Amino acid sequence: MTQASCLIVMSKVVSYSADFVNQTINMKVLAFFLVAFLIIAAASASYHRPHRKIYRKPVYNKRPVYGKYNKGIYY
């Protein structure tokens, strides 16, 4: 094998290994973002946001309103 062909083969091997390393790093980065997204999605799904931020005081001369979020709150 001549020196030029040996250099060509070595450069191809180096470029293949560099592509492979970049691909594995890229896959690790994608896997990390996927895991982070799944953790955030699970946490946000388990957290139930209240219907109103400021709750009114109960008023005792009106009937209670039984809604989806406000169970027995007087308005």
Is a pLDDT exceeding 90 seen at residue 3? Answer: no
Please tell me the number of Cα atoms within 13 Å of 22 on its side-chain side: 6
pLDDT digits (tens, 9 = 90+) for 18-61: 676 677 778 889 999 999 999 988 887 777 666 555 666 666 66
- Round to the nearest angstrom and report the end-to-end CA distance of the chain: 91
Length of the chain, in residues: 75
**Tokens 């070595």 correspond to what residue?**
10
| Residue 26 Cα to chain centre, angstroms | 17
Report yes or no: 59 and 74 within 8 Å, Cβ to Cβ: yes
Give residue limits of the domains in the chain. Answer: 3-74
Which pLDDT score is estimated for 35? 95
Which pLDDT score is estimated for 38? 92
- Which is more confidently placed, 11 or 30? 30
Helix (H) or strand (E) holding 65: strand 64-66
